[in-house]
Structures are given as C-alpha cells and as structure tokens.
C-alpha cells in the first residue's frame, strides 16, 4: 500500500503532530468526501505501508521528528513557486525560508526523495511568461544539486477556484507560445541537472524536452524500497494522471496555506471552522466520529512482489 499524505491538504505543514500520533498507534480514520458518514479505518503499520508520499509547501514543522519514520520509506513532493503573498497567502518567504528548508530536507533524506514542484502555472498581467521564466531559473539555480526532478502543471479551473481565478484575470497562451515557454523551462531544468515532467496534462510536451510524469511514481518507489511493486494505475484520478494506486489520508477544506488557486477548499471560512476541530490525538483529521457515522475496516496489504522477476536478475 502507498499512502498519499496528501493531495487534499498540507499535512506536513499543519497536521504533522496528528500524523506522527497515527504512526505511533498504527491506524487512522479517513472520511469519504462523497459520503460523509462513511469512514474507513486504515492500518498504517510498516508491514503494509510500502511508501508514503508527502505533498507540501512547507515541511518545516515535520522535519525535527523525521526519525519517527525510520521504519518507513517515503519521499516528498515539495511545491516551490515564484508567486507572492497575493497568491500563496500564508507561506513563509521563499528565498529566506523555503529554499533553505528544501536544501536541508534534501541533505537529510537524499535529493532523489525531494521532488520540486513548480505548479500550478498560470498567467496574469503580473505573472507573465517572463516573470515565470525568471522565477523558475532563480529557484532552479538555488536548488541545483538538491533535487533530481522538477514537476510542472498548468492551472485547471474547478468550481472551487473559478471565482478567485476570474478575479485575477488569468489568460491562456496560444499552443505555439506554450511550447516555446515549455522549451525554455526544459532548458533551465537541464542546465541545473534536473529531469522535468508534467503533472496530469493532456498536452504532449515531449518534443520540448518535458515528459509525462507520475507523481506517485512506481519506478521511483521501487528504487527507494529496493524491490518490485504490483501496482496499477490509480483509477480514482484523471485519465491524464500517471500515478499508481494509493490511499489518500487527507481531508478537504482543511489546508490553511490560503492559495487562491486551491481546488481543495471551498472557502477560507470553512477551513477556519474545520481547523478549530483539529485534535491531534483523534484518529480523524479535523473531525470527530458522530452518531450517524459508520466505520469499516479497509483492507490494506503490501504491494511488494513476493518473488523475483526477470527484471530483478
């Protein structure tokens, strides 16, 4: 089993104490976002968890207790963009805090286990093509030698972020302009010894030097854990997504980063209300089990191949 922690919220930044408590107790609860009274109990002991994928914009609150994960394999998807506080409202200064944090994390766990995400990319009168190219180059140069891969994506509009993005007057590039932009990004990444790929994009940018990426990456996980996995495509994700199957343990409407492009929050007011319910000692994140809730044990097994394949010889 692969744990995703989390596409729905920033667990390392805001809820790492909850996560470490869950590791100690060996289980957690996840509420089904499509059926709120359906709760899954998920066993997360080292014998069934093959790898944990952390998604974050700020892992700093988690880093001093990484030793508590010594029985687990894991890696980080670390988002680091050029946007200011007008877009990513509650994040620390990138140059002063986040770039040094990225470097420290890479030094601790290995640069292959810290993936740099420059996403989502969108364009406005302020955040132009040239702005992004300059920001991307500055960050890439600062992270040279501290990561092996960069992942990019272009903004998708959902019901939860549509109003915010309309207020920013975002615009799309023509395909020729987009390919020229992508080629520039690829060149910058290559100059700084990084592979570069897209996240769940329909457009094929391979001729620009950018491959389709898998964020929950079977090949990388097999390299980290040292054996093959029997894992298929995640059927819960979009067709364009290359990720393999995982179990998502986060909760929507709980991320306090305040990013205006966020698709995981309905509103800051709902997030504030849910955050008040946070209790790091409870098995549910920012929620309590109610009288109408039903808890069922979800089957969890290791995906490790029991026998060597011809590829292991």
What would the 3-class secondary structure string for the chain be?
A: CEEEECCCCCHHHHCHHHHHHHHHHCEEEEEECCEEEEEEEEECCCCCCCEEEEEECCCHHHHCCHHHHCCCCEEEEEECCCCCCCCECCCCCHHHHHHHHHHHHHHHHCHHHEEEEEEEECECCCCCHHHHHHHHHHHHHHHCCCCCEEEEEECCCCCCCHHHHHHHCCECCCHHHHHHHHHHHHHHHHHCCCEEEEECCCCCCHHHCCEEECCCCHHHHHHHHCCCECCCECCCCCCCCCCECCEECCCCCCCCCCECCCCCCCCHHHHHHHHCCCCCCCCCCCCCCCCCCEEEECCCCCCECCCCCHHHC
pLDDT at 240: 76
Q: How far is CA 90 from CA 189, 209, 251, in A?
A: 27, 33, 19
Share of the chain above pLDDT 90, in %: 87
Whether the pLDDT of residue 313 is over 70: the answer is no
pTM of the predicted model over 0.85: yes
- pLDDT of 237 reads 81
Residue 126 pLDDT greater than 60, yes or no: yes
**121 closest CA partner among 167, 182, 65:** 182
Mean pLDDT, residues 232-249: 86
> Is residue 202 very low, low, confident or very high in pLDDT (cuts 50, 70, 90)?
confident
170-174 mean pLDDT: 95
Mean pLDDT of 20-41: 97
Res. 308: pLDDT tops 80: no
Q: Look over the chain and give the mean of its residue pLDDT values, rounded to a whole number.
A: 94
- What confidence tier does 311 reach under pLDDT thresholds 50, 70, 90? very low
- Determine the average pLDDT of the residues in 245-258: 97
* Better pLDDT: 203 or 129: 129
Q: Are 247 and 255 in contact (CB under 8 A)?
A: no
* Angle formed at CA 94 by CA 86 and CA 199, multiple of 5 degrees: 80
Residue 289 above 60 pLDDT? Answer: yes
Q: How confident is the model at residue 307 (pLDDT cuts 50, 70, 90)?
A: low
Mean pLDDT value of segment 290-297: 97
As a whole number, mean pLDDT of residues 290-295 equals 97
Whether pLDDT at 309 is above 80? no
At 310 the pLDDT is 43
Average confidence (pLDDT) over 119-131:
97
Residue ranges covered by each domain of the chain: 2-152+172-251+278-312
Distance separating the N- and C-terminal Cα atoms of the chain: 24
61 has a pLDDT exceeding 80: yes
Q: Are strands 35-43 and 27-32 parallel, antiparallel or unpaired?
A: antiparallel
More confident residue, 46 or 202: 46
CB-CB contact of 37 with 85 (8 Å): no
Task: Work out the average pLDDT over 114-119.
Answer: 98
Sheet holding 27-32, edge to edge: 27-32, 35-43, 294-297
For residues 263 and 150, which has the higher predicted lDDT (pLDDT)? Answer: 150
């Amino acid at each position: 089993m692969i744990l995703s922690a989390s596409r729905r919220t920033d667990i390392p930044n805001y809820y790492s104490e909850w996560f470490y408590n869950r590791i100690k107790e060996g289980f957690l609860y996840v509420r089904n976002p499509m059926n709120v009274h359906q709760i899954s109990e998920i066993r997360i002991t080292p014998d069934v968890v093959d790898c944990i994928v952390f998604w974050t914009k700020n892992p700093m609150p988690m880093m001093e207790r990484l030793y508590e994960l010594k029985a687990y394999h894991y890696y980080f998807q670390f988002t680091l963009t050029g946007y200011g506080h007008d877009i990513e409202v509650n994040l620390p200064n990138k140059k002063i805090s986040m770039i040094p944090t990225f470097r420290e994390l890479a030094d601790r766990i290995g640069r292959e286990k810290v993936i740099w995400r420059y996403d989502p990319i969108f364009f406005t009168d302020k955040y132009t093509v040239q702005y992004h190219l300059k920001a991307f180059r500055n960050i890439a140069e600062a992270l040279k030698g501290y990561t092996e891969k960069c992942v990019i994506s272009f903004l998708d509009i959902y019901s939860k972020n549509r109003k915010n993005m309309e207020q920013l007057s975002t615009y799309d590039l023509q395909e020729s302009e987009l390919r020229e932009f992508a080629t520039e990004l690829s060149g910058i990444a290559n100059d700084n010894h990084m592979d570069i790929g897209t996240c769940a994009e329909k457009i094929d940018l391979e001729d620009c030097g950018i491959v389709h990426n898998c964020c929950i990456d079977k090949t990388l996980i097999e390299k980290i854990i040292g054996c093959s996995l029997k894992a298929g495509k995640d059927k819960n994700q979009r067709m364009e997504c290359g990720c393999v199957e995982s179990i998502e343990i986060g909760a929507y409407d709980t991320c306090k980063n305040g990013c205006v492009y966020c698709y995981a929050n309905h509103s800051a007011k709902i997030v504030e209300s849910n955050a008040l319910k946070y209790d790091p000692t409870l098995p549910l994140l920012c929620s309590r089990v109610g009288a109408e809730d039903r808890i069922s044990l979800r089957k969890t097994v290791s995906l490790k191949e029991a026998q060597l394949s011809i590829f292991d010889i």
